[in-house]
Amino acid sequence: MSVETVTFIKPLEAIEFGSGISATGTKETGNFATWFDSQLNELNEQIKTSEVELRRLATGETNNIHHVMLSLEKAKTSFQLMMQVRNKAMEAYQDMMRMQL
């Protein structure tokens, strides 16, 4: 019996951070800070969009509650993901600072 590979998941080397730096760090066109900044800006736009849609629902301009709820959940999930990335980066920094030379 053969087991087929999952093809929809990208290998780690194929994942790019923002402006072209790969997960292995082979390209030098960008860095983690610029990628993180762009992701924060994108998250901020998602939150603003969901707030506008919620305000439109509250004022009666729209009646599509499903679209509003999906937008709110997407913003919430993106925020939680960004917080986990931040926490892991802070843990890594603290671990490096505790290393003895």
Mean of all residue pLDDT scores within the chain: 81
Does 45 score more than 90 pLDDT?
yes
> How much is the average pLDDT of 17-41?
69
CA dihedral 77, 42, 52, 75 (to 10 degrees): 0
> How much is the average pLDDT of 54-60?
93
Global pTM reads: 0.64
Does 40 score more than 60 pLDDT?
yes
Give start and end residues of each alpha helix (H) in 1-101.
Answer: 32-59, 65-98
